[in-house]
A and B are shown apart, each in its own frame.
Chain A
Amino acid sequence: DAMVIQNPRYQVTQFGKPVTLSCSQTLNHNVMYWYQQKSSQAPKLLFHYYDKDFNNEADTPDNFQSRRPNTSFCFLDIRSPGLGDAAMYLCATSRVTGNNSPLHFGNGTRLTVT
């Protein structure tokens, strides 16, 4: 039973054409994260929401935005995708941000930019 669900699994977009990736969770976790993972690399945190509080990583480009309309859903918006934005995008959740609350990942959305 999938608990962190990402749609779509594969997304193709054109250079410069806005794209939105979605994530939903059935865990009722407070925190939702978006990671970018390029081939053969470790996941890189883009930002996270603790409830409605948005926390951006310092090196996340402005091209990346996020929305969390409610506890269950979180969206990643890429305003003007470039070829370098092609990657696997992973959503994750955790109950809280502290100890004893490991991340649970979705299966990711693989983004291709043509």
Chain B
Amino acid sequence: GQQLNQSPQSMFIQEGEDVSMNCTSSSIFNTWLWYKQDPGEGPVLLIALYKAGELTSNGRLTAQFGITRKDSFLNISASIPSDVGIYFCAGDLLNFGNEKLTFGTGTRLTIIP
């Protein structure tokens, strides 16, 4: 199946630091979605991106849909303890819909006290 390379796999940061993670693929995607998953919970949608070049913010979160349609990044500014969790990117391939949603391998964010 299609691969989404998500990096970094894990991050250890101090509270207040900014965070940046990204996803890349060799294939063109229609949509990029960013989800956060807390332990024992389902993924929660953070940001959805639908157009190449689109830059969208949701509070302290900012995500961009790459111009080439093959990548996306998520930034978190001024991290707080509740940002801890696993962040997944997901995308659906050009000409397919959600039934072909591909997930990245996740970025585990840990905040060091």
Contacts and interface: CB of A to CB of B under 8 A. Distances in A.
Contact of A90 (B43, B48, B98): B43
Interface stretch (A62-70, A77-85, A92-100): A92-100
Interface residues on B, range: 20 to 34
A31 B98 contact: yes
Contacts of B108: 40
Nearest to B108: A40
Contact of B42 (A94, A96, A102, A105): A105
B106 to A, nearest CB: 6
Nearest to A100: B50
Contacts of A48: 98-99
Interface residues on A, range: 20 to 34
A75 to B, nearest CB: 17
Contacts of A31: 98-99
B104 A101 contact: no
Interface of A: 4, 6, 31, 33, 40-43, 45, 48, 50, 55, 90, 92, 94, 96-108, 110
The 3 closest A-B pairs by CB, nearest first: A97-B97, A105-B42, A42-B103
